[in-house]
Amino acid sequence: MRVTRLRWLVLAVCFVLLTFGGRMGVHLGAYLPTFACYFTGFDSYGGACFLAPLQFALAAGSVDGLLKALLYVVIAILLIIPLGSAWCGWVCPFAFVQDVLDLIRRKLGLGYLRFPEGLREGLRPAKWVFLFIMLLLPLWAAFPILVPSVARHLNIPFCELCPVRYIMPMLTGRASYMGVDLENATTIILSGLGVFFAILTLVLSLFKRRFWCAYCPMVLVLSFFRRISLPKLKKDVQKCTRCEICYNVCPMDVEQVFKEREKENVTFPDCVLCLACIEHCPEDDALRATWAGKTFFRSTRKGFSRRRKIGVDRHKNKDN
Amino acid sequence: MGKRKQRLLRALGRSAEGVLRGLEEAADRPKQLDYFIEVMRAAYVDDCLAERLELSEPRPKVVGIYCVMAPEELVYAAGAIPLRLCGGSHEASCAGDELAPRDACPVVKSALGSTALGAPSLYELCDVVVVPTTCDAKRKMGEELAQHTEVWVLDVPHVKESEGARRQWLEELHGFKRDLERLTGNRIKRRALKEAIAMLGRAQHQARRLYQLRQAPVPVVRGSEAALALHAFAFDRADSWTEAMTRLNDELEERTRHQQPSQGAQRPRLMLAGAPSIFPNWKLPNLIEEMGGALVTDESCVGDRYLYDPVGAVENTMEDMMVALGSRYLMPCTCPSFAPNDDRLFRLRQAVEDFQLDGVLYLVLKGCVIYDFELQRVEKLMRELGLPVLRIETDYNPEDVEQLRTRVEAFIEMIQENTQLEVGA
Amino acid sequence: MRVFAGIDAGSTYLKAALVDDKRQLLGVKTAPTGIDARETAKEVLDALCLQVGVEPMALAAITATGYSRRQIDLAGDNVTEIKAHAAGARWALGADSEVRTLIDVGGQDSKVIVFDDNGAVKNFVMNDKCAAGTGRFLEALARVLDVSVKEIGPMALQSKLPCEINSMCVVFAESEVISLLARRHDPVDIVAGIHVSMAKRIAVMARKAGLSGEVLLTGGGGLNPGLVAAFEDELLCDVHIAEHPQLNGAIGAALLAGRLAAAA
């Protein structure tokens, strides 16, 4: 089976389970390092993103809250180790939404947009900004020493900004989230930006592959563990012809994989381990995926040709 | 037909026929090689390529292509026929002597001579020629060709690394596409391009099959034969060529299974690196094989590198296919006109491993400075890998064959002696 | 006792050598190649056999080398000069020699062969395009100076300050020499300059081939002490001369004929 097809299947199943699993009796709790939105509702989600409860716990400001936050982090790490960035490529329900939008683009025959290097570099700090907002502002809410009137409303500042919080609940019938919270200036600004990001994400996902993922703080968090998490993308630099196919098929526009000329480990920070690069690499063993050091998927020219239906040799070699 | 053209036709036909006869004389040649010999004969000896290609009425446009950077997929998708024009004829290069500076390489001289005199006639068959700006000689050749025919210059960036260069290259290909549409009057449609990519994909797949078959420890095909078969792609329709190549590969697979070597299995395995040996300049491939070497691979843009890389389109949207073509025809190319060109050293290192090479003959065509420049790096690499390198500087003139023979023979002897010593030790 | 013959059919001289199966050199003979190398080879070999006292028909094997090696039909086998010279040098030098580079200055070409410690050929460079750096270069210029080729070597050694000869091409070098004579330069200095120029030219080849260890000079050039001195100055290392410099190739071919070469 083609890896892409398998990935679609896994993504779709995860999407259903995590978004609607609650209605079918699946309850994994809000511990997952993936964007299964917490705000799809307790009654609906089968498992949810740990970032919302983490922010709540930080904003509580108590020792108890901090311990709880620590627990969330530890559980997340334990979940990250075996899957690594595959959480983004294979599990994330919002990735599924983006990939569906991308599929619509393809069916419409539209090309994808690739931001120029300068813009990509300029936007790279965005996820760091989101991460700091997520970790620091709730603490400010917990200990409102300065401007308490603003701080009071910063319990879950990242979620307020996160486009996923506005989009995913719509799918579970909570359309009311999609709107600006007019309670006060702080909420207006935060939710206003959030709605803006949500619309931007929905629209641009139709043109740019995995638009949101480039700014997603979860991708960043997962990348912190790319050295110790078990799945890895590896490259044989000698076998690589630098044909750039891996870059063209990469939904995350990771350029370094084809450019790398020294290191074997090419699990770069933006990699979501979708394995499309291995699937489309035309050189035998130039790219491979390993889990705990064991190769489970490798590139072959035969596979490349077979997928394009150009390698159907008339008689199969019986000896092989 | 002008007298000069007639004379040139006769002269280059004779030397081309000599090469083809030489291949035909080998009784153990693969049977399926004859198809490719006939393609070359039609192009160079019988001068009847137009008839062979069976160009229906109204005659499709024919696009002449130099170098390996112009995507033939686009040409086919526009309903035109591509022909590869890089020249390898000594006689044509003499005719081109007066049209180029003395130090220009024979490839350029030969192309200029053939274009100016229209011999072989396939040069006259082209409605337009595409000249990618690779090396200085090719770039200036484009300018000179414009006196005789319509020339489209394809601006190839020389530094592949930068994103700007790659974007500009993509723009250039879009321009090429528009030009083709204007020439043929056909809009290049998504489906047509998809089919063209698949058609050339099948050709590339077969070329890769041959490449892999030649890695077998016992060579089942001569280097001169394999090079001719690959080269014939230049003058054939892609689908007919692919069919013939499939048959050849099937035959060679059969030979591999029955361990039928084409020449002695004990021969030193050699690579012909450096500048390309373009038909009918079969000087070095023939010398290597006559003097007891097994020519198992080359890195020539009319040989093993010609069809090696595939197009990696996935989405089959127009834009995606154009991006994939842009990548295919720029990025993996190891022509020394690119700088930096470390990619080439990686490819060579891999070839040494894949083909279990014993030595490298490095052809420097007189006037080809860029291949000569990279010789030092290649020598350094090969020293590291323990492989001897023999640099041979020559052009298409057969006058130095005897001197070269001694050097090639001594080189092969040297390798044989050394491998014997290793076995003995 | 089995006897093996080697024939080195060079452009100027044809050389023949006989060795026995104990790798002993039995005899050598040299004659101008002439027009018909095949005939000359027959004559030289017959004369050599007579001199040594072996029946030509009793020769165990004959191997030819040199420029006209393919014309020598009485040889059962032929090898390139590179291989023959390598074998000859290994024989001449013995195991503990420091020589790793052989420079052969022949009539029509010159070559540099570099060996590894086992005596296997590591690399070689040949000059085969024109007469620069070959015996012909010396011959032609000696003629301009009206000196015999035998004399120019010792003559060059007497010079204190060799003239500079810049032309590589024999024809241009000739006119350069003539103009030096016209400017009343001492012929001794001119002759020395010619040797230096030639050594420089070949030294470039030697460096390209990867010059290492000490040098063995063979070919007609080995008979010329002026050239030996010029090489020593140019390469900055000891230059040895084989016992039979001109016959190195023929001896090597004879050893190869008996498959005795690798035993060195």
Q: Closest residue of B to C80, CA-based? A: B410
Higher pLDDT among residues C126 and B152, named by residue: B152
Do residues A17 and A125 both lie within one domain? yes
At A320, the pLDDT band (50, 70, 90 cuts) reads very low
The shortest CB-CB distance from A314 to any of B204, B250, B314 is to: B250
Indicate yes or no: CB of C128 within 8 angstroms of CB of B407. yes
Q: What is the per-residue pLDDT across C79-92, written as a single tens digit (0 to 9) for each?
A: 998 989 988 988 88
At A318, the pLDDT band (50, 70, 90 cuts) reads very low
pLDDT tops 90 at residue A284: yes
> What average pLDDT does this structure show over C210-231?
91
Residue that is last in its domain, among A181, A202, A221: A221
Nearest chain C Cα distance for residue B418, angstroms: 6
What's the pLDDT score for residue A312?
60
pLDDT tops 80 at residue A209: yes
Please tell me the least confidently modeled range out of A309-313, B75-79, B135-139.
A309-313
Nearest chain C Cα distance for residue B353, angstroms: 21
How many C-beta atoms surround the C-beta of residue A8 within 10 A?
16
At B27, the pLDDT band (50, 70, 90 cuts) reads confident
Do residues A188 and A93 both lie within one domain? yes
Q: Are C218 and C246 in contact (CB under 8 A)?
A: yes
What's the pLDDT score for residue B264?
64
Amino acid at A238: Q
Domains and their CATH numbers in chain C: 3-82+247-263 (3.30.420.40), 99-237 (3.30.420.40)
- Report the residue count for chain C: 264
Quick one: CA dihedral C11, C16, C21, C22, positive or negative? negative
What's the pLDDT score for residue A316?
45
Please tell me the least confidently modeled range out of A118-127, B25-34, C96-105, C252-261.
C252-261
In a domain? residue A320: no
Rounded Cα distance between C108 and C127, Å, is 9
Do residues A164 and A101 both lie within one domain? yes
**Mean pLDDT rounded to a whole number for chain C:** 89
Do residues A21 and A137 both lie within one domain? yes
- Copy the structure tokens of residue C93: 């030098």
Indicate yes or no: CB of A243 within 8 angstroms of CB of B250. no
Do residues A126 and A18 both lie within one domain? yes
Main-chain phi, psi angles of B364, to 5 degrees: -115, 110
At B420, the pLDDT band (50, 70, 90 cuts) reads low
> What average pLDDT does this structure show over B57-80?
95
pLDDT tops 90 at residue A1: no
Q: What is the per-residue pLDDT across B223-272, written as a single tens digit (0 to 9) for each?
A: 999 999 999 999 999 999 999 999 999 999 999 988 777 766 789 999 99
Residue that is last in its domain, among A221, A249, A267: A221
The shortest CB-CB distance from A239 to any of B161, B323, B350 is to: B350
State what percent of residues in chain A have pLDDT above 90: 81
**Chain B residues whose beta carbon lies within 8 Å of the beta carbon of residue A110:** 317, 319
pLDDT tops 50 at residue B197: yes
Nearest chain B Cα distance for residue C166, angstroms: 23
Q: Closest residue of B to A247, CA-based? A: B327
List for chain B the helix, strand, coil content (%; round to 5): 55, 10, 35
Counting Cβ atoms within 10 Å, is residue B143 exposed (0-12), middle (13-18) or buried (19+)?
exposed
Q: What is the per-residue pLDDT across A46-93, written as a single tens digit (0 to 9) for each?
A: 999 999 999 999 999 899 999 999 999 999 999 999 999 999 999 999
pLDDT tops 80 at residue A274: yes
Residue that is last in its domain, among A196, A221, A246: A221
Rounded Cα distance between A130 and A225, Å, is 18
pLDDT tops 90 at residue A184: no
Rounded Cα distance between B105 and B97, Å, is 10
Q: Are A243 and B309 in contact (CB under 8 A)?
A: yes
pLDDT tops 80 at residue C262: no
Indicate yes or no: CB of A238 within 8 angstroms of CB of B346. yes
At A259, the pLDDT band (50, 70, 90 cuts) reads very high
What's the pLDDT score for residue A317?
42
Look at chain A and report how many structural domains it folds into: 2
- Copy the structure tokens of residue C182: 């016209």
At B422, the pLDDT band (50, 70, 90 cuts) reads low
- Copy the structure tokens of residue B305: 């590198």
pLDDT tops 70 at residue B424: no
Please tell me the least confidently modeled range out of A184-188, A241-245, C227-231.
A184-188
Contacts of C219 (CB under 8 A, 6+ apart): C104, C105, C106, C110, C135, C245, C246, C248, C249
- Copy the structure tokens of residue B39: 């393609």
Do residues A216 and A295 both lie within one domain? no
- Report the residue count for chain B: 425
In a domain? residue A58: yes
At B425, the pLDDT band (50, 70, 90 cuts) reads very low
Establish how many alpha carbons lie within 13 A of residue B120's alpha carbon, considering only the half-sphere containing its beta carbon: 28
Rounded Cα distance between A275 and A252, Å, is 12
DSSP per residue, B125-143: H-SEEEEE--SHHHHHHHH
Domain that holds residue A251: 230-307
pLDDT tops 80 at residue A35: yes
Do residues A85 and A60 both lie within one domain? yes
What's the pLDDT score for residue C76?
87
**Chain C residues whose beta carbon lies within 8 Å of the beta carbon of residue B424:** 262
Main-chain phi, psi angles of C125, to 5 degrees: -135, 135
Indicate yes or no: CB of A241 within 8 angstroms of CB of B332. yes
Instruction: Tell me if chain B has a CB within 8 Å of the CB of A256.
Output: no
Q: Are C249 and C141 in contact (CB under 8 A)?
A: no
**Residue pointed to by tokens 């993504």:** A11
Q: Are A138 and A62 in contact (CB under 8 A)?
A: no
What's the pLDDT score for residue A203?
95
Do residues A295 and A156 both lie within one domain? no
**Mean pLDDT rounded to a whole number for chain A:** 92
Indicate yes or no: CB of B327 within 8 angstroms of CB of A245. yes
**Mean pLDDT rounded to a whole number for chain B:** 93
Q: Are C103 and C215 in contact (CB under 8 A)?
A: yes
Rounded Cα distance between C6 and A272, Å, is 72
In a domain? residue A8: yes
Do residues A238 and A297 both lie within one domain? yes
Rounded Cα distance between A19 and B365, Å, is 66
Mutate to test the interface with B, among A5, A258, A305, A319 (most CBs of B within 10 A): A305
Do residues A249 and A128 both lie within one domain? no
How many C-beta atoms surround the C-beta of residue C118 within 10 A?
16
In a domain? residue A317: no
Sheet holding C121-127, edge to edge: C121-127, C110-115, C99-105, C214-218, C239-241
Do residues A215 and A242 both lie within one domain? no
Whichever domain contains A298, its CATH number is 3.30.70
Do residues A167 and A241 both lie within one domain? no
What's the pLDDT score for residue C117?
81
